[in-house]
Amino acid sequence: MTSQTTTAAELSEAAAEAIRQLNHLTRQTGSGLEYPGDAYSTVANLSTLAMRLPQALDQIRAFMDRLGHEGHLRSYNGPGDLATRLEDLREGLAAANRCAEALHTCLNRAHNALSSIGYAE
């Protein structure tokens, strides 16, 4: 049996770093995009990324809810602050979930628009 050696925090850090590198490659002087098909594939991959975010956000919320129900959470600002922080967390993740779904929809639209665009010599 293999053991998990990568944490959720490490994977999300790697994803953020990958987007930073993508930003560098897609600058006007970058070499990451050469043909419309490159844009098509890149937008498709970003759409997939956006589509997968809501599941991760829901699982983070469920994890924190479980810890809270089991009595394993506290706030460094005192016991009265914990409920407020958890509600803010739930609302923030729910809003982020809606934004990710909207991002996915917009990226799909862009992806579809790119589908019939080619390079003219």
Q: At what angle do helices 36-69 and 8-25 cross, to 10 degrees?
A: 160
The residue assigned the tokens 């293999």 is: 2
Residue range 33-62: mean pLDDT, rounded: 97
0.75 surpassed by pTM: yes
Residue range 110-120: mean pLDDT, rounded: 97
pLDDT of residue 2: 53
Looking at beta carbons, which pairs linking 66-73 to residues 24 or more positions away fall under 8 Å? none
Does residue 78 surpass a pLDDT of 80? yes
What percent of the chain clears pLDDT 90, i.e. is strictly above it?
88
